[in-house]
Amino acid sequence: MPSVDFASRSVRVDRRGLSGPGVWSLTSVMFVMFVMFVMTVMTVGCTEAVSERPGVGGKASARAPSPVAARVEDPGETVAEFTLTDQAGERFDSGSLAGRVWVGSVFFANCPGPCFRENQAIADILREIDDPRLVAVSLTCDPENDTPEVLRRYADRFDADLTRWKFLTGDMATIKRIANDGFRLPAEVGVHSERGVVFDRQGRLRGGYHLLQPDRVDLLKKLIREVLAEEPAAAAADEQSAVAPAAGDAR
C-alpha cells in the first residue's frame, strides 16, 4: 500500500480514501460540506436588519431607526400619510386607515422562510381577532420583483381577506421612508425587521413585537385588543362633550 510522509505524519491512500492521524476521511469532509451548503441555502434570501440584532453593528445599523418600544406610552404625532399600490394594482391611500386599528410590517415574497412565518403570524392574528376595525398593512422591501400580481398570488397563500389585509408596493425610496419614519422599522432591499407594529385609530404608533416568537405574538394580540377597546370610551367621551352645555350656558 503506497504511503507518503509529510512532517512525520503518515497518510495512506487506499480505496476508502485518505486515512491516518489528524486526517479526516473523504466521507466526513463531504458530509460537513453538505451541512454547510444546506445551512447557507436556508438563510439566503431574507436578512433581518442588523439594528434588530442586539450587539451587532454595521453599515445598515447607522441608517436604520432604533427598534420601536414594545409599548409606546406617549403616542405622539400621527404617522405621515402615504400612497402606494396594492395587490390589485390600485392606488392605496393611508387616509383610508383613519378610524381603524392597524398592524404594519415589512416583508418580501421571495423570502424562503422567515417572511412566511411572519405573515402566517399576521394571518393568525386577523383570524383570531375577527374584527373589521382591525387591518394589516404589509410593505414589500423588494418592489422590483414584488409586482401587484406577485403580491396577489402571495396573499392567496394565506387565504388573506383583502378587505382587511393590504400588501403594498411602490418605489423603494418611498417604502424605505414609510418603514423607517412611519413604522420605525428598518428596511433595505431584501433586508427588513420581523416586527409587527400597532397603530391606533388616530394613526399613532402604539408599540410593536417580534412576529417570529409565539410569546411576543401573544403580547402583540394583547396590545391590539387594548387599542381596539379604546374606541367606546373615546366615542362616549366625545359624545358627552358634544351634548354637555358649556358652564356659561347653564340655566
Label residue 28 by pLDDT band (50, 70, 90): low
pLDDT tens string 116-165:
999 999 999 999 999 999 999 999 999 999 999 999 999 999 999 999 99
Please report, rounded to a whole number, the percentage of residues in the chain having pLDDT higher than 90: 59
- φ, ψ dihedrals at 199, nearest 5°: -120, 140
Q: Which domain holds residue 30?
A: 3-43
199 and 82 in a single domain? The answer is yes
pLDDT tens string 160-219:
999 999 999 999 999 999 999 999 999 999 888 999 999 999 999 999 999 999 999 999
Residue that is written with C-alpha cell 414589500 in the block: 140
Q: Is 8 helix (H, G, I), strand (E, B) or coil?
A: coil
Nearest to 134 by CA among 144, 143, 124: 124
Q: Name the percent of the chain in helix, strand, coil, to the closest 5.
A: 40, 20, 40
Task: State the cell numbers at 22.
Answer: 489528524
In a domain, 100, yes or no: yes
Are 114 and 106 within 8 A, CB to CB? no
**Rounded to a whole number, what is the largest CA-CA distance in the chain?**
116
pTM: 0.70
More confident residue, 51 or 217: 217
Q: Look at the chain and report how many structural domains it folds into.
A: 2
- The reported pLDDT for the residue numbered 162 is 96
Are 62 and 189 within 8 A, CB to CB? no
18 and 90 in a single domain? The answer is no
94 and 142 in a single domain? The answer is yes
- The reported pLDDT for the residue numbered 71 is 80
Are 170 and 186 within 8 A, CB to CB? no
In a domain, 245, yes or no: no
Are 30 and 20 within 8 A, CB to CB? no
Sign of the CA dihedral running 147, 152, 153, 155: positive
**Through-space distance between the first and last CA atoms of the chain, rounded to whole angstroms:** 116
